[in-house]
Amino acid sequence: MAGRMPMGNPQVIVLREGTDTSQGTPQLLSNIAACLAIAGTISTTLGPRGMDKLIVANNGVATISNDGATILKLLEVVHPAAKTLVDIARAQDAEVGDGTTSVVLLAAELMRESKAFIEDGVSPHLIIKGYRKAAQLAVARVKEIAVTVERTNEADFRSLLLKCASTAMSSKLIHSQKPFFGTMVVDAVLTLDQTDLDESLIGIKKIPGGGMEDSLLVQGVAFKKTFSYAGFEQQPKSFKDPKICCLNVELELKAERDNAEVRIEQVSEYQAIVDAEWSIIYSKLEAIAATGAKVVLSRLPIGDLATQYFADRDIFCAGRVAVDDLKRVVQAVGGAIQSTCSDIREEHLGRCERFEEKQIGGERFNLFEGCTKAKTCTLLLRGGAEQFISEVERSLHDAIMIVKRAIKNNHVVAGGGATEMEISKYLRDTSRTIEGKQQLIISAFAKALEVIPRQICDNAGIDATDVLNKLRMLHARGERWAGVDVENDGVADNMEKFVWEPALVKINALEGAAEAACVVLSVDETVTNPSSQVSFSSCFSFPLPPFAVALAVSNFPLALAPSLAPCSLLDARC
């Protein structure tokens, strides 16, 4: 029998030593717990009475925000399942611009509802099938009840956009100035070319100082005055219908002798080299002046010699212009950025109706108005603290995206939890016509939708149970737009109160939340390589709450300390 293999099942080692593998129902429940922890962090930011979060990064930079996507990005979540919620928040922000907190809460609530089914032994695939069917029914219902506003009357259509912008701002820091900023946002979006509505053509510049209502909208491009050399004071600061030359050329003497080695034998040769440098830069300046351009912008420095040369010829120049500002100028005024001065033709130059350098607050700004090539505008935001202006910028971005979506897709629904309650009622009624376990799962989806009005009530200090009972009763009677009325601590017809949102926001949120829940429910095993495991002792440097201890004991690679501790968002290092 010599040489025969021993009988039995030999152990085969496939993964590296120290690899952590967690699988089965405990792993699925642990992933759901991680997602619920994420949702718990941002749930208080929802609605008109939502609270803000103060997040301090490793470098000490503090950010105050109640935007779901911004908060999740700054938390630096490392748990693999919880990252799914971060991804859907980013997708919602990129696609629609608003509803980032809603989509995360909805996804987490769907997982919470599925938890009981999993513990009872229901296959995750059955739950996924039910959720996907419920999401399809919900999206179809939103499309069915959405109100279409035709763009036949421009005044009515503008009024619709103002209401959508105001609703988007109602939960933000600037809610007290909704009429002022709503008008500014609608004017900015309507300035753009209505065929493509490229929001990148709306520039936003922050100027500390002054009040919020000192902010203004410039119908064109504006950027802060660049670093300038001697001779700048003599240049004209205002032109009508100027030609504009945009360059990527350094107009300084030192540029001609960089990385050069010249061997000379007598002084006259050295003088010839010096003269050559001067003649080269003068030939560049003469070529620019010969084009007839009155405004010269360059991405690279424009030195004191060139500044004085342009001043003598009544030409305005600005060097070291930021790349994004220069690109917007080119998009707005026409022409092209030139990397040489030797062959600048008329088609390479841009035009605008008016150029001006103007004092705004403590800064001087270069303003290009009446641009001929592309319609563009710039929002100049004023305010006290830097963090405050940054949050105003994020709020306006959400409102701009909402107005853009409302123009492209002119279907609107009521906000304030009205749409969610109507879909919930519809799904409950539909579930009773379905046999088997799917009835319970679709009913669970309907119950999960109530998290939005419930959280709005909780954040506003209203009795959520009482309000939800009233809403269920009103929707059963056929009042489809009944929603939470935060101002009067009750319920109201939010369509009549003009709490409007584009239907696309709700559709995107429903699809994204259902997809995220299905992705998490379809995972039954996590394999963590030894090099990527997280040390709990280094992550939690403060007394752990019982919930976090339970997760740590159950082999849960969680690095989401901000959502699990009372001192949460003041330390984002975990």
- Domain of 197 in residue numbering reads as 154-219+380-409
Amino acid 534: pLDDT: 46
Same domain? For 40 and 131 the reply is: yes
Cβ neighbors of 498 (< 8 A, separation 6 or more) are 163, 166, 167
Three-class DSSP category at 281: helix
- Does 398 participate in catalysis according to the annotation? yes
Residues 102 and 242 in one domain: no
Residues 326 and 306: beta-carbon distance below 8 Å: no
Mark whether 528 is an active-site residue: no
| Whether 250 and 319 share a structural domain | yes
User: At residue 127, what is the residue type?
Assistant: I
Whether the Cβ atoms of residue 525 and residue 22 lie closer than 8 Å to each other: yes
Q: Which of 503, 525, 547 is the last residue of a domain?
A: 525
pLDDT tier for residue 430 given thresholds of 50, 70 and 90: very high
Helices first, then strands: H and E counts in the chain: 18, 19
Among 27-36, 262-271, 401-410, name the most confident range: 27-36
Q: Distance from CA of residue 39 to its chain's centroid?
A: 18
Catalytic residue (choose from 398, 419, 430, 526): 398
Residue 354: how many CA atoms within 13 Å on its side-chain side? 9
Comparing 535 with 135, the larger pLDDT belongs to 135
pLDDT in tens, 549-570: 333 333 334 333 333 333 333 3
Calculate mean pLDDT across residues 19-45.
Answer: 82
- Partnered with residue 356 across adjacent β-strands are 238, 367
Spatial CB neighbours of 237, under 8 Å, sequence gap ≥ 6: 316, 356, 357
CA distance 154 to 267: 76
Q: Can you give the pLDDT at residue 424?
A: 94
Mean pLDDT confidence for 389-404? 86
Query: Cα dihedral angle (129, 135, 140, 143), rounded to 10 degrees?
Result: -170
Asked if residues 108 and 38 have their Cβ atoms less than 8 Å apart, the reply is yes
Residue 492 domain flag = yes
Considering the domain boundaries, does residue 532 fall inside one?
A: no
Q: Which of the given ranges, 68-77, 230-239, 442-451, 531-540, has the highest pLDDT on average?
A: 442-451
Please choose, from the candidates 110, 128, 113, 164, the residue with its C-alpha nearest in 3D space to the C-alpha of residue 510: 110
Query: Of the candidates 346, 373, 400, which is a domain's last residue?
Result: 373
The rounded distance, in Å, linking the Cα atoms of 368 and 332 is 9
DSSP state, residue 535: P
Distance CA 24, CA 467 (A): 39
- Compute the distance between CA of residue 324 and CA of residue 390 in angstroms, rounded to an integer: 18
Count of structural domains within the chain? 3
Statement to judge: residues 368 and 230 lie in one domain: yes
Q: Is residue 27 part of a domain?
A: yes
* Measured CA distances, 76 to 17, 199, 530, 535, 542 (Å): 28, 27, 20, 16, 18
Name the residue with higher pLDDT: 455 or 374.
455
pLDDT of 23 higher than 80: no
> Do residue 331 and residue 386 come from a single domain?
no
Residue 384 maps to a domain = yes
Name the phi and psi angles at 527, rounded to 5: -110, 120
If asked whether residues 366 and 259 sit together in one domain, one would say: yes
> What percent of the chain clears pLDDT 70, i.e. is strictly above it?
86
- Angstrom distance (rounded) from CA 203 to CA 324: 9
Q: How far from chain centre, in Å, is Cα 34? A: 24
Mark residue 211 as left, alpha or beta (left: phi above 0; alpha: psi -120 to 50; beta: remaining): beta
Catalytic residue check, 45: no
Are both 58 and 167 inside the same structural domain? Answer: no
Task: Tell me whether strands 295-298 and 243-247 are parallel, antiparallel or unpaired.
Answer: parallel
Do both 226 and 353 map to the same domain? yes
Catalytic residue among 63, 70, 84, 101: 101
Q: Confidence band (pLDDT; 50, 70, 90) for 426?
A: very high
Q: pLDDT: is 574 or 515 the higher one?
A: 515
Q: Which of 375 and 470 is assigned the larger pLDDT?
A: 470
CATH code, domain with 421 = 1.10.560.10
Q: What are phi and psi of 207, to 5 degrees?
A: -125, 105
Q: Does the annotation count 195 as an active-site position? A: no
| 80 and 170 housed in the same domain | no
Q: Is residue 119 part of a domain?
A: yes
Provide the token pair at 433. 């016509």
Out of 45-49, 369-373, 395-399, pick the least confident: 369-373
Euclidean distance between CA atoms 483 and 47, whole angstroms: 12
What is residue 170's predicted lDDT score, i.e. its pLDDT? 79
- Structural contact between residues 235 and 350, judged by C-beta atoms closer than 8 angstroms: no
Helix (H) or strand (E) holding 173: none
pLDDT at 1 over 50: no
Nearest Cα to Cα of residue 88 among 113, 106, 114 = 106
pLDDT at 16 (0 to 100): 58
Mean pLDDT across 218-224: 85
**Distances in whole angstroms, Cα of residue 24 to Cα of each of 28, 31, 273, 355:** 7, 11, 78, 67
C-alpha distance from residue 487 to each of 170, 241, 457, 490 (Å): 11, 51, 11, 8
Active-site residue (options: 45, 84, 100, 378): 100
Kindly state the average pLDDT of the residues 447-458: 93
Neighbour tally for 13: CB within 10 Å: 7
Last residue of a domain, one of 525, 544, 562: 525
Q: Which of 156, 175, 153 is nearest to 165 (CA)?
A: 175
Query: 504, 521 in Cβ contact below 8 A?
Result: no
Element at 258 (helix H, strand E)? none
Is residue 559 included in any domain, yes or no?
no
Q: Does residue 164 have a pLDDT over 60?
A: yes
Confirm if 422 and 453 have CB atoms less than 8 A apart.
no
45, 63, 67, 84: the catalytic one is: 67
Using pLDDT thresholds of 50, 70 and 90, give the confidence band for residue 428: very high
Distance linking the first and last C-alpha atoms of the chain = 60
Q: Decide: helix, strand or coil at residue 411.
A: strand
Identify the CATH number of the domain in which residue 287 sits.
3.50.7.10
54 and 131 co-located in one domain = yes
CB contact at 8 A, 552 and 527? no
- Give the CA radius of gyration of the chain: 30
Give which of 334, 326, 276 is closest to 300, Cα–Cα.
Answer: 326
Query: pLDDT value at position 552?
Result: 36
**CATH number, position 393:** 3.30.260.10
The chain-wide mean pLDDT, for the chain, equals 81
Does residue 530 lie within any of the structural domains?
Answer: no
CA angle 477, 482, 486 (to 5 degrees): 145
Instruction: Extract the tokens encoding 73.
Output: 């990005």
Query: Is it the case that residue 444 has pLDDT exceeding 70?
Result: yes
Lowest mean pLDDT across 170-174, 380-384, 446-450: 170-174
**Is there a single domain that holds both residue 367 and residue 427?**
no
Q: Structure tokens of 273?
A: 């080299």
Is 349 within the bounds of a domain?
Answer: yes
Task: Please name the residue that has the structure tokens 């990005």.
Answer: 73
Q: How confident is the model at residue 8 (pLDDT cuts 50, 70, 90)?
A: low
Find the mean pLDDT for residues 356-366.
84
Whether residues 251 and 367 share a domain: the answer is yes
Beta strands in 131-179 (DSSP E): 147-148
